[in-house]
Structure 1
């Protein structure tokens, strides 16, 4: 029997989107968070894992380089996760994926224009469904272990990938795992070396500190990824992404509606340069 999947809903307006979101469930569960992307064809993964970005092999050095040249920016960060959040803010590719708990924020990002082969493309808003055991706060031990994978060299990450198939006891005897524990203990001295390898392989939804204006403005949160990818034999049965499409021809009208509701560049990006750009564009487009 051929399985015919139902076409994704195509958003026509903000009110249409809100109506859809209010009933957006999967197996009785409501979304944990949302992510908006300007192009429906993009694969959902952190930038550091994307082949076109070519950063995975240099992740450790990139992290250290940024802290080295701007140490004052990171002086108040207590954990590697805190540093990754700040690096994400400054647009360094990391193993974090931005999401939001506000669906209108996700819709705003999905309404940005994008062209492929000279043609405007549809955007998408994805709803993220994960069970409670895959949801953590910023100070979770599991999050610390996943974040500190960024401190490993590419060869160490390859060693880690080979060790994932071991049982927990053997896994924790591996030298590369002991090195990971060393990094975790820098921020958590009493951390017990009993890492479950399965906990490093699958992404986790993280509720961060509301430590900067942009996270607050965007109702931001993150997915943190450990392993670069699951093997072809493994399927993440917990993680579910369901999407709606934002038609290219509807983007401008939807964005105008969002601006009337206070969802715009100046509110989502509270830095003064973003606010100035939004204000200049608004008046430039004002024919009155």
Structure 2
């Protein structure tokens, strides 16, 4: 048994009970081990779940990491101070956010500047995910395997940047810790009672700053289940990485059976194959300079290329 957040650690899993917002999963089938880029491409072309193709992909350099938004991670320990961290960054650098129209826009920019947020980076390009999975990672001095995860979600759990549901989930980050807990506690109320809750009204006030027409008909379930979001292609890095996001709302004690639609199936990148696969990706134009178009990243890539 392993602990993950709505995540499949292999190609298929059985979902068990959830505790503290973390799913306990039972493995039922070994994951594919990637030997080369060609092997990976062949595998991706056949990667299906229930006959459906993946919506997006995510690469992580360590197989054992739990996949969740950074602000939700206990080792980061920022969830209780999420609102203050966001306000501090905007206060210090207001010019960076002057063109952002929504809270989701601001979260995307904050993610770009590496502030932990409730967004999880994914890509619609599997080779980009493979690149991140091949990053060298050591645990206790030992090189470790990476993983590429394929995200499967139905159409109704996919949204664009201007979605009302995305606005609600993004603006959860504007609430205090007590208000977020209050909304989590009010989940089981019927829709009328839920929308009369003071914390929900506070959330609605933030959403109405973006969308004055928004009605007080918030469905608690829509705040609890993460969705895949297609962002504006207004950021050079998002364009370069074919980027998208999964956005999370309430961090609750929801049972895993309430989110049976979310599946992340994985393929393993063996530690001993990472360097070789990276070289193959570079031949295909997938490297640091192409994925991180900022000049400092390009300069670092050039130096590394010639010193090696």
Question: Shorter-chain TM-score: which interval?
Answer: over 0.9
Q: More deviation in 242-251 or 187-196? A: 187-196
Q: Tell whether 2:43 aligns with 1:23.
A: no
Contact 1:168/1:194 (CA < 8 Å) preserved in 2? yes
Do the aligned partners of 2:184 and 2:252 also contact (CA within 8 Å) in 1?
A: no
The farther-off stretch of 13-22 and 224-233 is: 224-233
Give deviations 1:252-282, integer Å, cap 9, x for gaps. Answer: 0000000000000000000000000000000
Structure 1 stretches of 4+ with a deviation exceeding 6 A read none
Which structure: greater strand fraction? 2
From 79, 87, 98, the equivalent of 1:64 is 87
| Residue 265 (structure 1) aligned to one of 288, 301, 305 | 288
Whether the 8 Å contact between 1:201 and 1:230 is mirrored in structure 2 is no
In 2, Cα distance between the equivalents of 1:93 and 1:103? 24
Q: Deviations over 1:230-268 (max 9, x none)?
A: 434654101011000000000000000000000000000
Deviation digits for residues 22-71 of structure 1, max 9, x if unmatched?
A: 00000011000000000010111000000110100000000000000000
Match for residue 72 of structure 2 among 20, 45, 49: 49
Cα distance in structure 2, aligned partners of 1:206 and 1:215: 13
1:209 aligns with 2:232: yes
- Matched residue pairs, number? 284
Tell whether the 8 Å contact from 2:151 to 2:264 is kept in structure 1 after alignment: yes
Query: 1:254, 1:238 → 2: CA distance?
Result: 32
Task: Supply the distance in 1 between the matched residues of 2:304 and 2:252 (Cα, whole angstroms).
Answer: 41
State the distance in 2 between where 1:195 and 1:102 align.
33
Q: Which residue of 1 aligns with 2:304?
A: 281
Deviation at 1:205, TM superposition (A): 0.2
Distance 1:41 1:229, change over 3 A: farther
Q: State TM-score, norm by structure 1.
A: 0.97
Q: Which residue of 2 aligns with 1:156?
A: 179
Measure the CA separation in 2 of the matches of 1:230 and 1:162: 9
1:198-219 Cα offsets, whole Å, 9 max, x none, are: 0000100000000110000000
**Gaps (5+ residues) in structure 2?**
1-25
SS in 2 for 1:126: strand
Distance in 1 of aligned mates of 2:105 and 2:59? 23
Would you say 1:101 and 2:124 are equivalent positions?
yes
- Return the match for 1:244 from 267, 288, 296: 267
Question: Is the contact made by 1:57 and 1:154 (CA closer than 8 Å) also made in structure 2?
Answer: yes
TM-score by length of 2: 0.90
Deviations 1:178-226 (A, max 9, x none): 1100000001011111111000001000000001100000000000000
Matched residues in 2 for 1:267 and 1:6: separation?
A: 35
User: Which of the residues 30, 39, 56 maps onto 1:7?
Assistant: 30
> Is residue 2:161 matched to residue 1:138?
yes
Deviation at 1:163, TM superposition (A): 0.6
What is residue 82 of structure 1 aligned with on the other side? 105
Give the Cα separation in 1 of the matches to 2:137 and 2:191: 45
Unaligned runs of 5+ in 1: none
Secondary structure in structure 2 of the residue aligned to 1:206: strand
